Amino acid sequence: MIKIEGISLVRLRHNEHHQYMSDFNALITKHSAAELGIDSEVLEFNTSIGVQETAMRMEMGSSKSKSIEQQDLVRDKTWNAINLKVKATILSPFADEVASAEVIMRIIDNFGDIRNLSYNAESTAMTNLLTTLMQRPNANHLQKVGITSWVAEMKKQNDEFQAAFNERNTEYAGRDNGDVRITRKAIDPIYNRIVDKINASVVLGVAKPTVATFVGEVNEMINYYKTTIAARNGRSKDKENDEKHSTSDAVTIS
């Protein structure tokens, strides 16, 4: 009997993730949680999907949600650029630059990778990080690493994000707020436990006959999403190649 295949859940977009989990849950209902041997997990799984659905509706219902998501990506990109620049400067041949980079790196490491936090948590962490980086004793270090203007820009981006986020929250007056990223983190471990439990029953040879049909249908669904992800990655690579060719083919007229 075959097992449920793996799938990279983090590579699914929010709507894809919600649809996948909803379809997976529908298959559980179709084949019976009792027959699949996952009675103890299914209630928690159902509840988590309901929470995600509420968060999804709230995200889709806000006119500012798309803008907020883009602003979040912008500040994440700047954080990553700063992080990489500091790491690169640690390899500098100049001792004073290395020393400054090490000071800044310790500050960044103290806060960790803040990009995967919820919106509110990331905003708070980034604000505290920026406050520390922009303290007077660090001004010379920022200059030596070459990120003074980058840090200032990240502060601007973070301020703009928080302003937009607060504006969006006024649209949710009287409703519970939701963060889709948080709901995904709640669902994924439950999903993984269900998959592990079913696969273990297959390996141990104690799975009921209906499990084979269930696994086959789940794997068909997984293959569909894998194809979707692969196609999207292919389009992204094609776009990158086109941009590279466009740049290399450019002619400068003097």
Q: Where are the domains of the chain?
A: 9-61+179-248, 65-170
> What pLDDT, on a 0 to 100 scale, did the predictor assign at position 1?
83
Q: What is the mean pLDDT of residues 22-26?
A: 94
Q: What is the 3-state secondary structure (H, E, C) of the chain?
A: CCCCCCCCHHHCCHHHHHHHHHHHHHHHHHHCHHHHCCHHHHHHHHHHHHHHHHHHHHHHHCCCHHHHHHHHHHHHHHHHHHHHHHHHHCCCCCHHHHHHHHHHHHHHHHHCCHHHCCHHHHHHHHHHHHHHHCCHHHHHHHHHHCCHHHHHHHHHHHHHHHHHHHHHHHCCCCCCCCCHHHHHHHHHHHHHHHHHHHHHHHHHCCCCHHHHHHHHHHHHHHHHHHHHHHHHHHHHHHHHHHHHHHHHCCCCCC
Instruction: Give the contacts of 86 (CB within 8 A, at least 6 positions apart).
Output: 101, 104, 105, 108, 145, 147
Q: What is the mean pLDDT of residues 200-225?
A: 95
The answer to whether 126 and 79 have CB atoms below 8 angstroms apart is yes
CA angle 203, 206, 211 (to 5 degrees): 85
Model confidence at 14, pLDDT cuts 50, 70, 90, reads confident
End-to-end CA distance of the chain: 69
The answer to whether 4 and 192 have CB atoms below 8 angstroms apart is no
- Residue 4 gets the label, from left (phi > 0), alpha (psi -120 to 50) or beta, of beta
The answer to whether 79 and 154 have CB atoms below 8 angstroms apart is yes
> What pLDDT, on a 0 to 100 scale, did the predictor assign at position 88?
98
The answer to whether 225 and 24 have CB atoms below 8 angstroms apart is no
- Report the C-alpha gap between 223 and 226 in whole angstroms: 5
Model confidence at 63, pLDDT cuts 50, 70, 90, reads low
- Report the C-alpha gap between 169 and 58 in whole angstroms: 10
Model confidence at 253, pLDDT cuts 50, 70, 90, reads very low
